[in-house]
Chains A and B, each alone.
Chain A
């Protein structure tokens, strides 16, 4: 009697443990790691985190902050992160071509009528008459790295203004602070900088803005990258992640991408709330109000649905190939996956 009793108790305990274990997996959130830069163009992701869109999809998101686009791409390829939100560079396209990355949604873009990057001339070059992008032929310009989005934008300027890119001498300076220093001290004639950096420089009289890149050509420069392993084996997790990110992008568009009749960005309560939530990540050391003002003044355009511009990516690959920066075998169809943003 006692023996049977003990067995019954043991069986009961085991059943309870099993039920507990299964029960907890059913309720536990899937953990994913996202590599991200502290840029306003990632605002959609930050809003999705702050407003609980990921939690609502049963995802626990860990943000890993990086200083440059390249390490994010490498982190995904090496399996250290499932997702990454950053610029599309020749390096990430080469890595994607080798099967290291997939592109599943979009991020920031240059779009006419919206704030984007600025073409900035040094005071000395401006004094010599460099006041239009047409006059860049023969100039020395600073870029961050070979094959970066800045490099591509100089290619777009050359194509739009009808001169050979080889007429521009490109100086890769590795980082934005170096580019700022070089143009401030007139060691280069021009560079391309985001508005939130270019604007204050012009206010301090350190350089001149000679064109807005969004007026020259449309360009979807950012993307949500995903690990091929996650796309193949955890489609459901990727789909939920993209859906939550899209909700964040919709919030971003609805709060920050509105203009009044005069074409000025609307800075009402909704914009301030979103900007404060984004500033928490982008300007963590600034007072919230100050950071929010910077976000409103510089938030770049992001497609509110996260849809990818496949033709644009193909055009980038073709251009990079012509500059011998992307390998000949790279094909967008092999790694751009439009199915998640349908």
Chain B
């Protein structure tokens, strides 16, 4: 088929931005950073007081693995993260759905959530100690409190974003409200919920260090703090790397959940 004179063939341009994933790129980025770090410390560009060498950090990590110390820290931190996040996220989702579905909740709870979100949870730590003690409860509370608001906001945003026509159609077919929530609203809000999970899990990891400032003998946050107090910069960086690793693992798990739960898209 020959093109009409005066008409120009136009290549397809609407490909959109499609960021793919080159598997090799992420490890390469990390390797380049470590190489830069190694060269900077080995050549003396950075004083050993300011930054330990990668080898020292690696041997600090190896010592922690060999003595089993790292597992005690990880076990304590992961438990705090899971329990604290689960409490905060389930409350947040419940309140977020209520805001998305009911006028009463929207007019009462929404301003409350908006007011709670910017409160620095670290500033409330002394109060949490008075309320919940210096044991595990205050640590769960710190994380739960920090996770609650972003989850609530993600949930009600997700509910608001569900196609209205789908809900109206279900209502006109006489589907009970419970089923509308379960079969239309929940799957429709799922992408927003999962991005809320992504953000709130990272906030949980950040708050882990704050939660473990008070009265924690074990935990990655406690490890980082005590290494800082002791000026053991190799253990400090090792602890920070473990926190970063925790972040990567959480991100990976959420990626798996996304592929499973959003397969229908």
Instruction: Check if B49 sits within 8 Å of A178, measured CB to CB.
Output: no
Question: Which residue in chain A gives the minimum CB-CB distance to B138?
Answer: A187
B residues less than 8 Å from A100 (CB atoms): 49
Instruction: Check if B130 sits within 8 Å of A181, measured CB to CB.
Output: yes
B residues less than 8 Å from A98 (CB atoms): 48-49, 231
Docked Cα-Cα span, A185 to B131, in Å, equals: 11
- Restricting to B62-79, which residues have a CB under 8 Å from any CB of A? none
Instruction: Check if A178 sits within 8 Å of B129, measured CB to CB.
Output: yes
- Restricting to B127-169, which residues have a CB under 8 Å from any CB of A? 129-130, 133-135
Instruction: Check if A181 sits within 8 Å of B231, measured CB to CB.
Output: no
B88 to chain A, nearest CB (A): 23
In the assembled complex, B171 has its CB within 8 A of some CB on chain A? no
Instruction: Check if A70 sits within 8 Å of B229, measured CB to CB.
Output: yes
In the assembled complex, B214 has its CB within 8 A of some CB on chain A? yes
- Restricting to A176-229, which residues have a CB under 8 Å from any CB of B? 178, 181-182, 185, 187-188
B residues less than 8 Å from A77 (CB atoms): 49
Docked Cα-Cα span, A182 to B214, in Å, equals: 10
Docked Cα-Cα span, A188 to B129, in Å, equals: 12
Instruction: Check if A145 sits within 8 Å of B134, measured CB to CB.
Output: no
Docked Cα-Cα span, A26 to B53, in Å, equals: 45
Instruction: Check if A95 sits within 8 Å of B134, measured CB to CB.
Output: no
Also in contact, A188 and B134, with CB within 8 A (given A99-B49, A172-B215, A178-B214): yes
In the assembled complex, B232 has its CB within 8 A of some CB on chain A? yes
Instruction: Check if A174 sits within 8 Å of B49, measured CB to CB.
Output: no
Docked Cα-Cα span, A110 to B63, in Å, equals: 36
A residues less than 8 Å from B217 (CB atoms): 169-172
Instruction: Check if A178 sits within 8 Å of B230, measured CB to CB.
Output: no
Binding site for A on B (CB under 8 A): 48-49, 126, 129-130, 133-135, 213-217, 222, 225-226, 229-232
Q: List 30 A-B contacts (CB under 8 A).
A: A74-B231, A77-B49, A90-B229, A91-B229, A91-B230, A94-B231, A95-B231, A142-B215, A145-B225, A145-B229, A146-B229, A147-B230, A148-B229, A169-B217, A171-B215, A171-B217, A172-B217, A172-B225, A173-B215, A174-B213, A174-B214, A178-B126, A178-B129, A178-B214, A181-B126, A182-B215, A185-B130, A187-B133, A187-B134, A326-B230
